[in-house]
Chain A
């Protein structure tokens, strides 16, 4: 097994278009040919994936965009181009802004919660502790289970019944005389979606833990030792030495969790079904496409989702690429 790199940005490794291994003194055409020969095989190797993704990702995005810009509001209509009308119309409803608001609350709590809990778990396990493999497996396990499977349990656990009829977690609170914790969970208007993030955090904080643990252990012991020699406390070592090294890991966790969060569907359906109180764009889109049967409006919601994800992801991708290039060359 190879050594882990200490520099996460070392991906490009300065390869670039490979130089011919031996200098040649042929004609210009021959040189070009050599160069093409050196990268053509690699292009060919990737081409099946390029074709598949071109069709199934970009073809579909194109199809979706065309629909979103049309007035095909029933499957049987012939749509014609209407510009951004659908995009504007959504904001004039009562339902859409509420759904967007819910998605934002959910995303903030989910991303923040998963990072925090995952980081805490990683920290607790980093130095090695009795039963570490057991804990690690346990924290990772929820990732293996789908919400189709656990949704009903979470609906039971987060039952908003008041103290006298409390069930689920509320019953547990009552049992331990923590009545003040009894709450209405996700059924609360406005910020109920914060509670909805709980099962999502449960599912993905193990993954964040794994990332952080990998990151912690990727920090060379010499660096930590040096800091200790400089008089840093163990906490100080984490704060000043380890955490700065983990910025790329944190960022990629934010991106992965953030985009999942914006598209969240299964979890909401499994716990709340289709109710306005827990409405999010992906659920709204589902009912628009498959129940109301309004292709143009459904495509518009999908476009907004895509834009939201893109706003998240594109700067990240561009930033990563730039950083690699500047470090690699």
Chain B
């Protein structure tokens, strides 16, 4: 009995030591590797990333690519992990972030290297739209390389539900939208406007603001100290409240894809969501123009409310040289035309080859619009116009509004958020 116990204990301890001892070989292994951090772990995003990785490894056979992708609700977990690593001075060689103000904290904290010389070298000032470069610049410098463009202000609708409700075609203004919502409610069993959890309401809000205020006034909202306490804003928020009255009551328990799916399944008439929904509809096997169709969200025709995934060069990247070759790849026309059709987005570059996008009706139309020199507005929810602090303030205000439905308090909180920035 006694000796058996001893041998069990000794064995277990031995096993423990062996197991912990062989746990080495992590982040800063050899010289010839490059660690790229992203939140692309599934679906088309992963496929696109893998295609890029393959190209990278072909071009740099000596460099080992370490794919440090962490998933989690549009990068929530990923951002926490990244935050920890940057604060601990243990950065990856390059990481993904939404281009624009979302990176502002990192820039101010001195975590990122400016990429102006890189932009010159690679001719990116010519390849990217001027307004885009202007909107991602911080104090005159750029800090990240945009690889794609997504559109936030898309109205998805179900043509048969609209027909049943007697609405011809997608509404072009917010007033038309309200009429259409009312018609759907009166004439059909469908949910007029499908939304999901809190963040999709933030997403809806930005499209309503853009549609109600107009592009110029919308863009002016994001200057620190901007005045949100205006009659125009009050009107925009009143419209927002009207739209919210037509949403389904179970929305908090659903995410964006369940809300979008209601449109393609004919359970809902409208949904305002970013254009990644097109890729999802594809995966579901829904047929464009039949199960679902799209238009610019009401009142925003001619404006492209954009967001962009981009890659950065952290200060102290352990393998900076390889990180630069990675950035060259994601900035190149070839890289972007390989990545984007798989990811379901369009390239940030204006010189993309439309043929790559021709067999996807949505992407084809989106690319045509992008290349026809639209007005640009940055998506606040997806980190283009506001840093995390401001964004979080808005999200909290919207969440509290969903609880207590106090529109004045919402307006006040939004105004305060702009002042404290």
Contacts and interface: CB of A to CB of B under 8 A. Distances in A.
- In the complex, A touching B (Cβ < 8 A): yes
Given A273-B73, A291-B392, A187 B198 contact: no
Contacts, number: 95
A162 B250 contact: yes
B396 A160 contact: no
B400 A94 contact: yes
Contacts of A159: 250, 253-254
Nearest to A170: B250
Interface size class of B (residues with CB under 8 A): 35 or more
Given A75-B109, A292-B392, A276 B250 contact: no
Contacts of A94: 396, 400, 409, 413
Contact of A74 (B80, B83, B109, B255): B109
Given A185-B253, A276-B403, A292-B392, A76 B83 contact: no
Contact of A165 (B197, B199, B250, B413): B250
Contacts of A273: 73, 197-199, 255
A185 B87 CA distance: 39
A277 B403 contact: yes
Contact of A286 (B80, B110, B252, B400): B80
Contacts of B250: 159-162, 165, 184, 187
A71 interface: no
A25 B413 CA distance: 80
B402 interface: yes
A158 B253 contact: yes
Interface residues of A, number: 34
Interface in B99-122: 105, 108-110
A166 to B, nearest CB: 9
A325 interface: no
Interface string B35-66: 00000000000000000000000000000000
A291 B79 contact: yes
Contact of B80 (A95, A160, A277, A290): A290
Interface string B237-263: 000000000001110111100000000
A293 B388 contact: yes
B105 A275 contact: no
B73 A95 contact: no
B399 A277 contact: yes
Contacts of B84: 290
B91 to A, nearest CB: 14
B239 to A, nearest CB: 22
Contact of A276 (B79, B253, B254, B399): B399
Interface in A251-286: 272-277, 279, 286
B7 interface: no
Interface in B363-421: 388-389, 392, 395-396, 399-400, 402-404, 409, 413
Given A75-B109, A95-B400, A276-B198, A291 B388 contact: yes
Contact of A290 (B79, B109, B197, B409): B79
A143 to B, nearest CB: 23
Interface in A280-325: 286-287, 289-294
Nearest to B108: A76
B248 A275 contact: no
Interface string B8-28: 000000000000000000000
B33 to A, nearest CB: 27
Interface of B: 73, 76, 79-80, 83-84, 87, 105, 108-110, 189, 197-199, 248-250, 252-255, 267, 388-389, 392, 395-396, 399-400, 402-404, 409, 413
Given A76-B109, A293-B105, 5 more contacts: A98-B400, A160-B252, A162-B250, A273-B197, A291-B392
25 contacts: A74-B108, A94-B396, A94-B413, A98-B403, A159-B253, A160-B249, A160-B250, A161-B249, A162-B249, A165-B248, A187-B250, A189-B404, A272-B197, A273-B197, A273-B255, A275-B252, A275-B399, A276-B198, A277-B399, A277-B402, A287-B392, A291-B76, A291-B79, A291-B80, A291-B392
Closest 9 A-B residue pairs measured CB to CB?
A276-B399, A290-B80, A161-B250, A275-B198, A187-B252, A160-B250, A76-B109, A292-B392, A159-B253
